[in-house]
Structure 1
Amino acid sequence: MDETLILSKFDKLVNSGLVLYDQNQETVQHVDGDLEFQFLLTSALVKKPVLGPPSSEKNAEVNGDKADGSDISTKGFEIGPIGNDHFVIANKFCYARPHLMLLTCDGYRRQYEPLDEAGLEAAQTVLLSMSQDFVVFYNCGQDGGCSRLHKHMQLIPKPPHSFADFLDNEASSSSPPKVPFHWFYQRIDVANTGGKGLIEVYTNLLQQATTVGQGLAQHADSAPPGAACPHNFIMSKRWMIVIPRRRAGINKEAGANALGMLGVIAVATRAEIENWIRLGLSESLRELGVPK
Structure 2
Amino acid sequence: MEESAILSKFDHLVEPGLVLYDDKQQIVEHIDGNLKFRFILTSALAKKPTLTTGQPQTQSETTNTQDPEKREGSDISTAGFEIGVLDTHFVIANKFCFARPHLMLLTLDGHRRQYEPLDEVDLSSSWRLINSAETDYVAFYNCGPDGGCSRLHKHLQAMPLPANSFAAFLDSSEGREPETQVPFEWFYRRFEDDKAAVTPAALAEVYNDLLEKATAAGAGRGEHAASAPAGAACPHNMILTKRWMIVLPRRRAGINKEAGANSLGMLGLIAVATTKEIDSWVSLGLKESLAELGVPKSIS
TM-score, structure 2 normalization: 0.94
Give the deviation of 1:176 after TM superposition. 5.9
Deviations, residues 187-240 of structure 1 (Å, cap 9, x unaligned): 014832101100000000000000111122322111111110000000010000
The residue that corresponds to 1:57 in the other structure is: 59
Aligned residue among 90, 93, 96 for 2:96: 93
Aligned residue among 261, 269, 294 for 1:264: 269
Deviations, residues 77-126 of structure 1 (Å, cap 9, x unaligned): 1011012x100000000000000000000000010000000000000000
4+ residue runs over 6 A deviation: none
Contact persistence 1:168–1:238 (CA under 8 A): yes
Give the direction of change, closer, same or farther, for the CA distance of 1:104–1:140 in structure 2 (3 Å limit). Answer: same
Deviates more, 1:187-196 or 1:141-150: 187-196
The residue that corresponds to 2:8 in the other structure is: 8
1:81 aligns with 2:92: no
The residue that corresponds to 1:19 in the other structure is: 19
CA distance in 1, matches of 2:176, 2:225: 39
Deviations, residues 34-82 of structure 1 (Å, cap 9, x unaligned): 2110000001111223552454422222221000000001001101101
Residue identity over aligned pairs, in percent, reads 61
Q: SS state of the match for residue 167, structure 2?
A: helix
Counterpart residue identity of residue 19, structure 1: V
Counterpart residue identity of residue 62, structure 2: A
Contact persistence 1:181–1:291 (CA under 8 A): yes
TM-score, structure 1 normalization: 0.96
Give the direction of change, closer, same or farther, for the CA distance of 1:59–1:174 in structure 2 (3 Å limit). Answer: closer
The residue that corresponds to 2:255 in the other structure is: 250
Aligned residue among 46, 59, 70 for 1:66: 70
Aligned Cα RMSD in Å?
A: 1.3
Give the deviation of 1:161 after TM superposition. 1.0
Contact persistence 2:254–2:260 (CA under 8 A): yes
1:184 aligns with 2:176: no
Alignment of 1:187-198 (within 5 A): 187-189=190-192, 191-192=195-196, 193-198=198-203
CA distance in 2, matches of 1:176, 1:210: 25
Give the paired residue count. Answer: 291
Give the direction of change, closer, same or farther, for the CA distance of 1:152–1:44 in structure 2 (3 Å limit). Answer: same
Give the deviation of 1:245 after TM superposition. 0.4
Gaps of at least 5 residues in structure 2 are none
The residue that corresponds to 1:275 in the other structure is: 280
Give the deviation of 1:173 after TM superposition. 5.2
1:289 aligns with 2:284: no
Gaps of at least 5 residues in structure 1 are none
Q: SS state of the match for residue 234, structure 1?
A: strand
CA distance in 2, matches of 1:168, 1:176: 16
Alignment of 1:167-182 (within 5 A): 167-171=170-174, 175=178, 177-182=180-185
